[in-house]
Chain A
Amino acid sequence: MERLFRIFRLDPQKDTSPRFQEYRVTIEPIDKILDCLNRIRWQQDPSLTLRMSCAHGICGSDGMRINGVCTLACQRLAKNYPEDPIIIEPLPNFRVVKDLVVDIEPFFEKYRALKPYLIAEAPGSETERCQSPEEREVFAEAIRCILCACCTAACPVSAENGQFMGPAALLRAFRYLFDSRDEDARARMRMLDTDDAIWGCKSHGKCTEVCPKEIDVRQRLAQTKKKIYEVK
């Protein structure tokens, strides 16, 4: 079956404004959107640029907007978009550096800024720290996060406030704040207790809506707020 793709194109070093380019692609029932984009690159237009690696929703490289929704191109089957054209755009809330590629560095910077690592005295023992399945369950959903940036791209607060840490960075902060093994909850809560961190979240819930890993990000951030509020 032949399908029509309308794809965002921009080379900021050459173009003054973006344009949309149309491509016709023959698709198979098992084709992911990513397969279609690669077929365009390999058979029609090698200049089309995107990020990709694992091609099955684990590495988180190919976040983009498909028909207006932030998602992973390797997790969406072309046949599930029955109407032409299928519109492909880069993730919003980030600076486009070429076509579907955005400057993702600020995203990783914010994630790194919120101390995404366990803070705890090294146990002297030669065995593992104990953690009950119930204690682990508290943050088990959050470790599905693959840092694809779809949530942050879809977040209305991130769109307005470039300083906002964004849902992904805050979700990782939740993961460590609620890990029973972590010993620095106080400092973590102080770090999160600002308008650009946890209080920036206005519970729009776009993060939860788009998360390719089906994480209820909004709910996890709400838990973080509640914990900080209770301590204060």
Chain B
Amino acid sequence: MQLYHDVVIVGAGLAGLRAAVELSGSADIAVVSKVYPTRSHSGAAQGGIAAALGNEGEDSWEWHMFDTVKGSDFIGDQDAIEIMTRDAPRAIIELEHMGVPFSRTAEGRIAQRAFGGHTREFGRAPVKRACYASDRTGRVVLDTLYEQCVKKGVRFYSEFVLIDLSFTDGQAGGALLLEWATGELHEVRARAILLATGGFGKVYKTTSNCFTNTGDAVSLAFRHGVPLQDMEFVQFHPTGIRGLGILISEAARGEGGFLLNSSGERFMERYAPAIKDLAPRDIVSRAILREIQSGRGIDGQDYVHLDITHLGPEVINEKLWEIASFARLYTGAEPTREPIPVQPTCHYMMGGIPTDGDGRVLQDSAGTPLPGLFAAGECACVSVHGANRLGCNSLLDLVVFGARAGKAIRQWLAQARPCARDISDLRDASREKISRLLAAAGKEQVPRIRQQLQELMMEQCSVFRDAAGLEKARRKIQELQQRFGAIGLSVREPRYNMELVEALECDHLLSLAAVIVESALLRRESRGAHFREDYPERDDRNFLCHTMAFKEKKGMRIEKKPVRITRFEPVARTY
């Protein structure tokens, strides 16, 4: 099938849907998603969305901006952070007007809670900045934005997999899609493409991410020469359920919960004396692992306790219902009476496709836009999160930059010429790739390769890293990529073929892991979520910069790109 639209939005999470809401009525848009839209992974966000509304104590966007800059360990671009934090209150009110069922204060205003790294007066004390709907904030915003799309009659292609992107004379002009139900390949042409496909936590064994978070679009963009920025910065959320990685929201600590080691000590008091358990995620994750390394994990094992018992059943039931239910279902612990066993879990990619503050994809370190291609959300890197994202800033990023990308696309459409080029060569290449996979008869197994990659990345490139481990990871990934060339699949039928989709995804995971490792090797310092045991200090003289990875004929090259500093000069990052 050959499809024509003005705009193709790939991904139906918050960023993609917010852009769709912005564009509907003024352009012919199509939203493509690997899953039904309400099943996108934005729905798994629990704790809240940050904005200095000041509904529960004095707050200001400047404080929010400072916290975000400091949280980013000073490599978030401050012009972009200013855009986001200034726009935050408006963006939240807009969501409320659309119908998002936020929790409320006694006065009927949007309720707010404390969250890691969010403070008043430039770090003095925690502030209540996270607007929330119990502990299902992401899910209700996802539902509301999808329902706005229903109201506006937005066209969706659900359960379609992105196979390739097409470019003509340096302009993005189309995409190739695999329809899961039929196994058919479709060509869609458009004058603008927005990539909003989320993260790729499935590079790691222990992750809060869903199965579909495999970074297909990010990997495809990279193959087409788009650089990837700051890929070494991978966030491990401190409190995943032990052994499963399922997220237990920071809201648990925002509401007053705390972490305990084997001797029952509130160890965060030692690591972040001012804000303790509400320190940013990179710091808390490292603290947990240091406790475990020092033999203070529970029963000497690889986890610690998250205690919310003192909050009482009423608060837990009203504000933390989902996470309490996760704890009961998956650990058997009754969170109103017993602590929850937790350990860090891969949660969020700070890096991704570089964009400007309006979602335009940048094709070089000088900031030249790539005409027709846009990106927003976790797959993009604006960069507002720098080396470490603060909790509740991701949902904010999605709605602020999703909307801005939508506006920028509208401007672009006013002058963009249609993409006329015949892309049958690309279609043929994709068709051949799929046929080859359907016939693949090698002896290597995709699930084994994927599992070995995920274990490798967990061991060598997670919270703590060093040159020896990263070099080992580099070698092993190359081996795995070679082995991937010799895979065998057994399902020959293209309809509803999970094996085929998982093979395509595994290929992307391998490519992205290689970029993460290469970027991590280059950054010989410790900053935010990137901690090098062999370079444990931050090195502003050499590394107060972004990394930009470019695909080369063989391997890749990595450039440094300056950080934009407007208001806050780097200082030591203590809490």
Contact = CB atoms under 8 A, between A and B. Distances in A.
- Tell whether A and B belong to one assembly: yes
Contacts of B147: 116-117
Given A46-B491, A53-B210, A104-B36, A136 B103 contact: yes
Contacts of A97: 181, 496
Contacts of B499: 41, 46-47
A103 to B, nearest CB: 9
A130 B109 contact: yes
A126 B93 contact: yes
Contacts of A104: 36
Contacts of B103: 133, 136
B182 to A, nearest CB: 10
B41 A128 contact: no
A127 interface: yes
Given A117-B151, A133-B106, A139 B39 contact: no
B98 A54 contact: no
B35 A13 contact: no
Contacts of B134: 140
A61 B101 contact: no
Contacts of A77: 329-330
A123 interface: yes
A98 B496 CA distance: 7
Nearest to A52: B211
A43 B447 contact: yes
B243 interface: yes
A46 B36 contact: no
Contact of B98 (A30, A118, A126, A131): A118
A117 B496 contact: no
A12 B531 CA distance: 53
Interface stretch (A16-24, A141-149, A159-167, A219-227): A141-149
Contacts of A129: 96-97
Contacts of B43: 54, 58-59, 146
B90 interface: yes
A53 B39 contact: yes
A185 interface: no
A175 B212 CA distance: 29
Contacts of B139: 58, 146
Interface string B7-38: 00000000000000000000000000001101
A125 to B, nearest CB: 8
A97 B148 CA distance: 29
B107 interface: yes
B257 interface: no
A53 B136 contact: no
A110 interface: no
Interface in B317-351: 321-322, 325-326, 329-330
Contact of A55 (B106, B211, B325): B211
A51 to B, nearest CB: 8
B100 to A, nearest CB: 9
Nearest to A213: B325
A105 B92 CA distance: 31
B211 A128 contact: no
B490 A47 contact: yes
Contact of A53 (B102, B211, B246): B211
B109 A181 contact: no
A202 B244 CA distance: 40
Contacts of A122: 97
A97 B246 CA distance: 30
Contacts of A98: 495-496
A8 to B, nearest CB: 14
B455 to A, nearest CB: 14
Interface in A19-63: 30, 32, 41-43, 46-47, 49-61
A30 to B, nearest CB: 5
Contacts of B44: 54, 56, 58-59
B97 A131 contact: no
Contacts of A179: 99, 101
B104 A133 contact: yes
A23 to B, nearest CB: 15
Contacts of B102: 128
Given A46-B490, A53-B211, A53-B212, A123 B99 contact: no
A186 interface: no
A77 B151 CA distance: 38
B97 A132 contact: no
A117 B99 contact: yes
A108 interface: yes
A112 interface: yes
A75 interface: yes
Contact of B99 (A42, A51, A118, A214): A118
Contact of B35 (A30, A59, A112, A118): A59
A59 B99 contact: no
A56 B97 contact: no
A175 B247 CA distance: 27
A78 interface: no
A52 B35 CA distance: 9
B558 interface: no
A75 B322 CA distance: 12
Nearest to B247: A56
B251 interface: no
Given A117-B148, A132-B104, A139-B101, A56 B136 contact: no
A46 B93 contact: no
A155 to B, nearest CB: 20
A139 B99 CA distance: 13
A77 B246 CA distance: 14
Interface string B131-168: 00110100110011001101100000000000000000
Nearest to A59: B39
B489 A46 contact: yes
A176 to B, nearest CB: 8
A15 B107 CA distance: 61
Nearest to B140: A143
A75 B329 contact: yes
Given A59-B35, A117-B151, A128-B93, A143 B99 contact: no
A101 interface: yes
Nearest to A48: B498
Given A55-B210, A56-B326, A143 B136 contact: yes
A54 B35 CA distance: 11
Interface string B485-528: 00001110101101100000000000000000000000000000
A227 B181 CA distance: 42
B39 A60 contact: yes
Nearest to A123: B97
B381 interface: no
Given A58-B139, A61-B36, A139-B101, 4 more contacts: A53-B39, A57-B326, A60-B39, A122-B97
Give 10 nearest A-B pairs by CB, closest first. Answer: A118-B99, A130-B108, A42-B447, A59-B39, A46-B499, A117-B147, A54-B210, A98-B496, A128-B96, A53-B210
28 contacts: A41-B498, A46-B491, A54-B39, A54-B210, A55-B211, A56-B247, A58-B43, A59-B38, A59-B40, A61-B36, A98-B496, A115-B151, A117-B98, A117-B144, A118-B98, A120-B99, A127-B93, A128-B93, A128-B97, A128-B109, A132-B106, A135-B104, A136-B104, A140-B101, A146-B139, A147-B38, A179-B99, A179-B101
